[in-house]
Amino acid sequence: MQYRTPSASQLVGTYTTEQLREEFLAGGLFKPGEANFRWWETDRTIFGGIIPLAAPLSLPNRPELRSAFFLERREAGAINLGGPGFARVDGVEFALESLDTLYLGRGTKEVSFGSRDAAQPARIWFLSYPAHMTYPVRHIPFQSLKGDRLGTRENANERTLYKVIYPDAFPTCQIVMGFTRMESGSVWNTMPPHTHLRRSEVYLYYNLPENHAVFHFMGPPQSTRHIVAHNLEAVLSPPWSVHSGVGTAAYSFVWCMGGENQQFADMDAVPIAQIK
């Protein structure tokens, strides 16, 4: 089967720093008292940040969706990266402690997010993809997760990967979601890198100390580029692009995938010797 190479994968090597950042980096997502969203054409991805203060914030129904409500034809995942919060979903309330996750199935109508204390507000990372059928709402407490230890201290990539929304846990239409936490002194993630033509990915970097950054590597394996990302900035990773990073300090990141294949191991590894 012939693969029609996207023009962006061929042109990305000619982009300036600002062009790379404009197309593949998203910042300014987390603003107190607001819900901010972005649309990415790849896999029709919607992502954003929600910080409720004294009053809960409802999931808005944007005119661009052309739908009766936000999740009429979509599913979503939401993870709390801030203080204690809660979500009200069609009249049912779910506690959202730090790193708790909520899966929202297609057809969920009324969704709002709140903070227990406006002085230490919840910080909700939200990501949504189109859905072809309905699956039930799921609440996944952080305390119920068992992480996978990866990497070594010698290679500066000792980390714990937490799978949260994935097929072995419960069914979804296409969303796969989790997060990774680097150990102190370790700074490399997803090295050696890989691509996966059957799905796209969004990285959100968080817990990155002030005045530090992550150098996120992207692009075709033989023509890589990098984007400098700071705390609470997201990088968009097309199916044809590698996605790996190195920080100036230890950090964490949420990874979110949508597309054709949900199997976590469905990837095409790129040996380090072949990276250019």
pLDDT in tens, 236-257: 999 999 999 999 999 999 999 9
Q: Read off the pTM.
A: 0.95
7-26+145-274 and 35-142 in the same fold? yes
Cα–Cα distance for residue pair 257/140, rounded to 1 Å: 18
pLDDT for the residue numbered 22: 97
pLDDT for the residue numbered 1: 87
Tell me how long the chain is. Answer: 276
Sheet of 252-259: strand order equals 25-26, 233-237, 199-206, 252-259, 176-182, 159-165, 148-150
Q: Which of 115, 114, 135, 141 has its CA nearest to residue 71?
A: 135
Angle at 124 between CA 123 and CA 126, to 5 degrees: 155
- Give yes or no for residue 264 having a pLDDT over 90: no
Average pLDDT over residues 159-165: 98
- Give yes or no for residue 5 having a pLDDT over 90: no
User: Confidence class of residue 4 from pLDDT cuts 50, 70 and 90?
Assistant: confident
Rounded percentage of the chain residues whose pLDDT exceeds 90 = 95
CA distances from 72 to 18, 99, 276 (A): 36, 26, 43
pLDDT for the residue numbered 268: 93
Average pLDDT over residues 138-151: 97
Pick among 2.60.120.10, 3.40.50.300, 3.40.50.1000, 3.40.190.10: CATH of 7-26+145-274? 2.60.120.10
Q: Given this structure, which CATH class describes domain 35-142?
A: mainly beta
DSSP state of 208: P
Cα–Cα distance for residue pair 136/157, rounded to 1 Å: 36
User: Confidence class of residue 227 from pLDDT cuts 50, 70 and 90?
Assistant: very high
pLDDT in tens, 176-187: 999 999 999 999
pLDDT for the residue numbered 190: 92
In the three-class reduction of DSSP (H, G, I as helix; E, B as strand; rest coil), residue 142 is classed as: helix
Average per-residue pLDDT in the chain? 96
- Give yes or no for residue 139 having a pLDDT over 90: yes
Cis before residue 192, ω within 30 degrees of 0?
A: yes
Domain extents for the chain?
7-26+145-274, 35-142
pLDDT in tens, 68-125: 999 999 999 999 999 999 999 999 999 999 999 999 999 999 999 999 999 999 999 9
Cα–Cα distance for residue pair 13/158, rounded to 1 Å: 31
pLDDT in tens, 9-61: 999 999 999 999 999 999 999 999 999 999 999 999 999 999 999 999 999 99
CA distances from 5 to 220, 262, 275 (A): 11, 22, 19
- Give yes or no for residue 265 having a pLDDT over 90: no
Looking at the chain, list the stretches that DSSP marks H as alpha helix, in order from N- to C-terminal side.
7-11, 17-24
